[in-house]
Amino acid sequence: MRFPRWLLSDRTGLVLLAVLMIIGIGVPALNLLVPPDHPLHLTAYTVTLLGKYLCYALLAVSIDLVWGYMGILSLGHAAFFTLGGYCFGMYMMRQIGTRGVYGDPVLPDFMVFLNWKDLPWYWHSFDMFWFAALMVMVVPGLLAFIFGWFAFRSRVSGVYLSIITQALTYALMLAFFRNEMGFGGNNGLTDFKDILGYSIHADETRIVLFVLSALALAGGYLACRWLVSTRMGRVLVAIRDSEDRTRFLGYRVEQVKTLVFTFSAMLAGVAGALYVPQVGIINPGEFAPLNSIEAVIWVAVGGRGTLVGAVVGAVLVNYSKSWLTAALPEVWLFALGGLFVAVTLLLPYGLIGLLRRRRETAS
* Residues 6 or more apart in contact with residue 182 via CB below 8 angstroms: 111, 116, 120, 122, 123
For residues 191 and 280, what is the distance between their CA atoms, to the nearest angstrom? Answer: 7
Confidence of residue 50 (pLDDT cuts 50, 70, 90): very high
For residue 157, give the 3-state DSSP assignment: coil
Given its phi and psi angles, is residue 282 left (phi above 0), alpha (psi -120 to 50 degrees) or beta? beta
* Residue 345: per-residue pLDDT: 80
* Residue 27: per-residue pLDDT: 94
More confident residue, 150 or 321: 150
For residue 105, give the H/E element and its range. none
* Residue 363: per-residue pLDDT: 64
For residues 32 and 34, what is the distance between their CA atoms, to the nearest angstrom? Answer: 6
For residue 37, give the 3-state DSSP assignment: coil
* Residue 161: per-residue pLDDT: 94
For residue 276, give the H/E element and its range. helix 253-279
Mind listing the pLDDT tens digit for each residue in 306-322?
999 999 999 999 998 88
Q: Is residue 264 predicted with pLDDT exceeding 60?
A: yes
Q: Is residue 208 predicted with pLDDT exceeding 90?
A: yes
% of the chain residues with pLDDT over 90: 75
Confidence of residue 2 (pLDDT cuts 50, 70, 90): low
Name beta bridge partners: 195: 198
For residues 267 and 11, what is the distance between their CA atoms, to the nearest angstrom? Answer: 23
Lowest mean pLDDT across 17-21, 109-113, 347-351: 347-351
For residues 263 and 247, what is the distance between their CA atoms, to the nearest angstrom? Answer: 21
Over residues 234-240, the mean pLDDT reads 94
* Residues 6 or more apart in contact with residue 42 via CB below 8 angstroms: 27, 30, 31, 34
* Residue 245: per-residue pLDDT: 92
Confidence of residue 343 (pLDDT cuts 50, 70, 90): confident
What's the start-to-end Cα distance of the chain, in Å?
A: 31
Count CA within 13 A, CB hemisphere, residue 79.
Answer: 26
Assign 3-class secondary structure to 167-211.
HHHHHHHHHHCCHHHCCCHHHCEECCCEECCEECCCHHHHHHHHH
Mind listing the pLDDT tens digit for each residue in 285-304?
999 999 999 999 999 999 99
Strand runs (DSSP E) across the chain, as ranges? 189-190, 194-195, 198-199, 281-282
* Residues 6 or more apart in contact with residue 201 via CB below 8 angstroms: none
Confidence of residue 21 (pLDDT cuts 50, 70, 90): very high
Average pLDDT along the chain: 91
Confidence of residue 151 (pLDDT cuts 50, 70, 90): very high
Confidence of residue 205 (pLDDT cuts 50, 70, 90): very high
For residue 35, give the 3-state DSSP assignment: coil
* Residue 238: per-residue pLDDT: 94
DSSP conformation class of 43? P
For residues 107 and 148, what is the distance between their CA atoms, to the nearest angstrom? Answer: 35
